[in-house]
Amino acid sequence: MTKYDMGQASLVHLIREYYALFDKQAIGMLRNLGKGIADYSELGIEELEGEGHEIQPGIVALAACPFTDTIESFESCCNTLPEEITILADEANELGGAWVSAFCGIHQGMRRGKVGESFQQIACKSSTGAVNIADQDLLSKEEVDELMDKYVCLYGR
């Protein structure tokens, strides 16, 4: 079990408050939060999100989610994430995203701040194995399905 971290629990509460106050506008706010982290941090993208594997020219895959520790810490004290975390993901996906939780929005904003606006989300896999694929034209569904057997996050540069 991951040690409980009050800062991580505060982030989960902040996401809930964003949604309660701003509904779907919280999607953009989460991306801006991530971009703010990227702008503030002198760390490179691999230090922030973990090692990326360039599996094809311009296509990057992550074997681990950079928010796993945050999620596990929160669940160690509260058993499950609040429903707002999933609701925001569902709403982002209706707009063509590939979120499995609201943390994907923070992660994407952070990545955008480090690698530039040209990146495109392709797919993301939850801890339960569910895969969400973005509206994109970089990879076919079959290619994405095959890659998501090994990875948890795919994006193009």
Judged against a pLDDT cut of 60, whether residue 1 lies above it is answered with: no
pLDDT digits (tens, 9 = 90+) for 16-34: 888 888 888 888 888 888 8
pLDDT digits (tens, 9 = 90+) for 95-153: 999 999 999 999 988 888 888 766 889 999 998 899 999 999 999 999 999 999 999 99
pLDDT digits (tens, 9 = 90+) for 73-103: 888 888 888 899 999 999 999 999 999 999 9
Question: Domain map of the chain by residue range?
Answer: 6-156
Percent of the chain residues topping a pLDDT of 90: 41
Query: Looking at the DSSP assignment, which residues form a beta bridge with residue 60?
Result: 54, 155
Judged against a pLDDT cut of 70, whether residue 45 lies above it is answered with: yes
